Amino acid sequence: MRTTDARGGPEIWLRGPVAPPEPGAYGPAAPPGAPRRFSWLGAHGGAGATTLSRVYGGHDCGRGWPGPGDPASVLLVARTHAYGIEAALRTLEVFRRGQAPRGLDLGAVVLVADAPGRLPRPLAQGVRLLESVVDVHRVPWVPAWRLGDLTGPPPRDTDALTRLTGAHAGWSG
């Protein structure tokens, strides 16, 4: 059975950006060849948006939507605990329903490890659900970040996120 949204169309989930930004809606477009700029949006308190903006660059929105003049491409940040994954899913639903501020697009979800080690099965299933509808980047547990040391390069296994954000492998804050 197919369901429909409020406008009467089929309910469809697509991988990738949810909606293209309107030109000029959130400041000038990046010049050709320049790295894409992002706004880091925390799906919940303590998600890690501030840390990631300092390590990878970009605008830190905290838990508020980007404003005019801020990058319109959003990287949604959540922790890998149950509340974090649920918060990411709720925010994805806001984008899917078209309830996010006009002109914003969801670039990806960035999941920050809430502890070292593997995820328990129920949490891994939640991550797979996210991955089935949007690009997901995982950031491992970084002990130095817990102590406030953001001076090192981005963590290993985050090469795709480093390329996406245009961060430099030797970057230091």
Within a domain: 126: yes
Return the residue matching tokens 């491992």: 140
Q: Reply yes or no on whether the pLDDT at 16 is more than 70.
A: no
Task: Find the mean pLDDT for residues 132-160.
Answer: 93
Q: How many domains are contained in the chain?
A: 1
Is 17 domain-assigned? no
What angle (nearest 5°) sits at the alpha carbon of residue 88, between those of residues 86 and 92? 115
The predicted model gives 63-92 an average pLDDT of 96
Residue 34: per-residue pLDDT: 59
Residue 13 in this model has a pLDDT that exceeds 50: no
117, part of any domain: yes
Q: Cα separation of 111 and 50, whole Å?
A: 13
pLDDT at 170 > cutoff 50? no
In a domain, 5, yes or no: no
Domain of residue 75, residue span: 39-162
Asked if the structure places residue 171 within a domain, the reply is: no
Q: Is there a domain that residue 21 lies in?
A: no
Query: Does 102 or 14 have the greater pLDDT score?
Result: 102
Average of pLDDT values for 19-38? 55
Asked if the model's pLDDT at residue 52 lies above 70, the reply is: yes
Mean pLDDT value across the chain: 83
- pLDDT class for 169, splitting at 50, 70, 90? very low
pLDDT at 154 over 60: yes
pLDDT at 37 exceeding the cut of 80: yes
Most confident of 14-28, 30-44, 132-146, 155-169: 132-146
Question: Does residue 79 lie within any of the structural domains?
Answer: yes
Residue 131 maps to a domain: yes
Q: What per-residue confidence (pLDDT) applies to 6?
A: 42
Strand ordering across the sheet containing 105-112: 59-62, 39-42, 73-79, 105-112, 136-139
| Closest by CA position to 65, among listed 109, 17, 104 | 104
